[in-house]
Amino acid sequence: MERQMAEKSFSAFQMAQTQFDQIADRLNLDAATKELLRWPLREYQFMIPVRMDDGGFRVFRGFRVQHNDARGPSKGGIRFHPQETIDTVRALAMWMTWKCAVVDIPLGGAKGGVICDPHNLSPREQEGICRGWIRQIAKNIGPVADVPAPDVMTNAQHMLWMLDEFEVITGGKYPGLITGKPVGMGGSLGRTEATGYGVVYHMREALKALKLQVEKTRVSVQGFGNVAFYAIDLYTRMGGKVVCVSSWDQNDQASYAFRKPQGINLEELQRITDRFGGIDKGKASEIGYEVLPGHAWLEQDVDILIPAALENQITGQTVLKIHPNVKLVVEGANGPTTPEADAVLKERGVFVVPDFLANAGGVTCSYFEQVQSNMNFYWEKEEVLRRVDEKMTSAFHSVHELAKKNKLYMRDAAYVIAINRVAQACKDRGWV
């Protein structure tokens, strides 16, 4: 059985800082800039009391971390997770800064979270958490300061409750406060697809660089949520074959991999998947999928791996189980690969499209949502996705060009571009 959470010793923030330190040294950043960028500018931790359906109260812990806003208002999702920690939120906030910078959108980085498990909360209780989160942080966020969005286990409904609470408090209409809103209520068409499609836009460009044809490739995916689903959707329409996906089983508290060597069928799997992206293993077996232990997703004989579930999945140990035929890893999830595992992938010559580049389609579309909300004028879906594709493609090539020119690993090249841009913005503003 697979444990969902990372080993206790794993610290996502330490990993984010390690990645930053390595590049900061390479760039010879001065001590003050380094100190400024390796920590969040601001962080908020607060309690959220909520009246539960049984009439009693429960108190939840909430977070918002603003890592850096030198390039524009900070931006980042809010995660609802039972094992959420300030450490993870800090790491994700820092990655948001680099993500916005590497795709060159005028935003900084932030992240938020609440320690809770929506599996065990009614919609009314979840609404209480959303409104409580906003009441605690309304003064410190806003359309021109810090713009939240959905992330793991939060969705458009949560965003709308949050926006509504903010508008009740402030007495105005501020659709640009938050992104990932429902379409028709300030949301952007294409947001649901943007992250997964963005992963595939990067994959398409990487395959060209590797001189591989999409139709001849096979993929294994970790996760079957929003990112994984739309990545699989576009990739299979482009002619590729997904032979394995995996998901978390809430009843068993374990993950499982679902294999079909002739290629999975997205629609049939979707019909047996719950709203959290958990595939029903009994039904999957009935319709001809092999049900394997969760870790099997990365042991498959495929060309491409897409981790699209959680951080800390390709580790010093698990990396050794990756099949020698794997040529490309496109990181849909944030922080799926530890620095230890990264060293092994680098050594083996695996082409890695790093998380903050690969999954930046989401924040790019969120940025377009902000722009549309602030104009109160909404674009067609094709226009949104075309613009996301353009941004992803051009960011991919900037990073790849630098990687080729300076013989850098893709992750390092992406970091060099992102950190340089943010350091320059801090300098230009006279901060350091």
Catalytic residues: 111
CA distance from start to end of the chain:
49
Stretch that binds ligand NAD, among 14-22, 65-73, 159-167, 329-337 (CB under 6 A): 329-337
Among 66, 220, 236, 246, binds ligand NAD (CB under 6 A): 246
Q: Of 333, 345, 352, 403, which one interacts with ligand NAD (CB under 6 A)?
A: 333
Residue type, 29: L
# residues near ligand NAD by CB under 6 A:
28
Task: State yes or no: residue 148 binds ligand NAD (CB under 6 A).
Answer: no
Should residue 258 be labelled a site residue for ligand NAD when binding is judged by CB under 6 A?
no
Listed ranges 218-226, 284-292, 346-354, 397-405: which one lies at the site for ligand NAD (CB under 6 A): 218-226
Token pair belonging to 321: 């189980």
Contact (CB, 8 A) for 63 and 45: yes
Comparison of 352 and 423: residue with beta carbon closer to ligand NAD: 352
User: By C-alpha distance, which of 128, 112, 45 is closest to 76?
Assistant: 112
Q: What's the chain's Rg over C-alpha atoms? A: 21
* Short-list 98, 193, 145, 173, CA closest to 422: 98
Contacting ligand NAD (CB under 6 A), which of 162, 308, 417, 425? 308
CA distance 162 to 127: 8
Q: Are 176 and 374 in contact (CB under 8 A)?
A: yes
| Interacting residue with ligand NAD among 16, 100, 137, 227 (CB under 6 A) | 227
Is 359:333 a contact under the CB 8 Å cutoff? yes
Q: Which of 6, 65, 102, 152 binds ligand NAD (CB under 6 A)?
A: 152
- The count of C-alpha atoms lying within 13 angstroms of the C-alpha of 63, restricted to the half-sphere facing its C-beta, is 29
Q: Which of residues 60-79 bind ligand NAD (CB under 6 A)?
A: none
Residue 9: strand, helix, or coil: coil
- Residue 195 as a binder of ligand NAD (CB under 6 A): the answer is yes
Q: Collapsing DSSP states into helix, strand and coil, what is residue 153?
A: coil
Residue among 11 and 424 whose Cβ is closer to ligand NAD: 11
- Give the residue, chosen from 161, 224, 235, 351, that forms a contact with ligand NAD under the rule CB under 6 A: 224
What is the spatial distance between Cα 249 and Cα 227, in angstroms, rounded to a whole number? 18
Select from 8-16, 166-174, 242-250, 400-408 the region that touches ligand NAD (CB under 6 A): 242-250
CA distance 158 to 175: 14
Q: Rounded distance, CA 37 to CA 164, Å? A: 33
Binding mask 382-421 for ligand NAD (x = CB under 6 A): ----------------------------------------
Shortest CB 356 distance to ligand NAD, Å:
9
Q: b vs e for 61-100, b when ≥16 Cβ sit within 10 Å of the residue's Cβ?
A: ebbbbbbbbbbbbbbbbbbbbeebbbebbbbbbbbbbbbb
Residue number of the CB atom closest to ligand NAD: 225
Binding of ligand NAD by 310 (CB under 6 A): yes
3-class secondary structure for 323-379? CCCCCEEECCCCCCECHHHHHHHHHHCCEEECHHHHCCHHHHHHHHHHHHHHHCCCC
The residue from 116, 277, 364, 379 that contacts ligand NAD (CB under 6 A) is: 277
Write the CB contacts of 184 (distance below 8 Å, at least 6 apart in sequence): none
Contacts of 190 (CB under 8 A, 6+ apart): 365, 368, 381, 384, 385, 388
Beta pairing class for 254-259 and 241-249:
antiparallel
Q: Give the one residue of 62, 76, 223, 354 binding ligand NAD; rule: CB under 6 A.
A: 223
Nearer CB in complex with ligand NAD: 153/189: 153
Residue 239, sorted as left (phi over 0), alpha (psi -120 to 50) or beta, turns out to be left
Q: Compare residues 108 and 332 and give the one whose CB is closer to ligand NAD.
A: 332
Contact segment (CB under 6 A) with ligand NAD among 64-72, 224-232, 235-243, 339-347 equals 224-232
309 makes contact with ligand NAD (CB under 6 A): yes
Binding range to ligand NAD, per CB under 6 A, among 10-18, 240-248, 371-379, 407-415: 240-248
Interface stretch with ligand NAD, choices 14-22, 53-61, 131-139, 328-336 (CB under 6 A): 328-336
| Residue 294 lies near ligand NAD (rule: CB under 6 A) | yes
Task: Write out the residues near ligand NAD by the rule CB under 6 A.
Answer: 2, 4, 151-153, 195, 222-228, 246-248, 255, 277-278, 294, 308-310, 332-334, 359, 362
